[in-house]
Amino acid sequence: MALFAYANSASTNSTRFVDHRSSGPMSEMNTTPLIDVLLVLLIMFIIAIPVASHSVTVDLPQPCTSECSALPTDPLTNKITIDASDTVRWNGQPLDGPRLVSTLAATRLMAVEPELQFEPAANASYSSSAQVLRIIEGSGVSNFGFVGNERYRQFDAD
């Protein structure tokens, strides 16, 4: 629908425009002030929100001191096990996180890196297994494998 119609009067040879909008009330809303107010409110809320300063405490393994030395390693295969009481063992000898880090570093310095086998017990906690796996991954060991998984091939519901 054209807002303005072009009318030509033949008797006077004059040209005039006829406005068809003036016949009824305007039903369109001017949204420019509404958008301006919303943008100002948005900026005010962004400025009013404080910067989030949350801190997360992380227990990282501490580097070994003089009393912490690497455990003896087998030149072919070494096994890390975790038992039901979440005790980490290297070839049967218990060790903690810093000592595990130094022992893994010692295996990386060997001429041929020995195979590292990881065997958590079925009832060992997931968190301690995940922590040991993070330490192994962080050490850069490349010859790594899971052993003992064949015991869990069949799942028996109790």
Q: What is the pLDDT of residue 40?
A: 94
Is 112 in contact with 142 (CB distance < 8 Å)?
A: no
Tokens representing residue 33 in the block: 């002030």
> For the chain, which residues make up each domain, given as ranges?
77-148
Query: Nearest CA to 102 among 72, 74, 76?
Result: 72
What does each C-alpha distance from 90 to 29, 51, 83, 145 come to in angstroms?
Answer: 77, 46, 12, 15
Tokens representing residue 146 in the block: 């899971």
Q: What is the pLDDT of residue 37?
A: 94
Query: Nearest CA to 106 among 76, 55, 71?
Result: 71
What does each C-alpha distance from 127 to 46, 120, 137, 140, 151 come to in angstroms?
Answer: 39, 11, 15, 20, 21
- Series of mean pLDDT values for 10-residue runs along the chain (158 residues): 51 58 72 92 86 74 65 83 91 86 86 89 89 90 86 69
Query: What DSSP letter does each residue of 81-144 carry, written as one string?
Result: EE-TT--EEETTEE--HHHHHHHHHHHHTSSSPPEEEEEE-TTS-HHHHHHHHHHHHHHT--SE
Q: What is the pLDDT of residue 3?
A: 52
What does each C-alpha distance from 98 to 3, 74, 90, 139 come to in angstroms?
Answer: 83, 19, 13, 11
Query: Nearest CA to 20 among 7, 39, 32, 31?
Result: 7
pTM of the model: 0.54
Q: CATH for 77-148?
A: 3.30.420
* CA angle (7 as vertex; 6, 11 as ends), nearest 5: 155
Q: What is the pLDDT of residue 134?
A: 92
CA-to-CA distance for 4 and 15, rounded, in angstroms?
Answer: 13
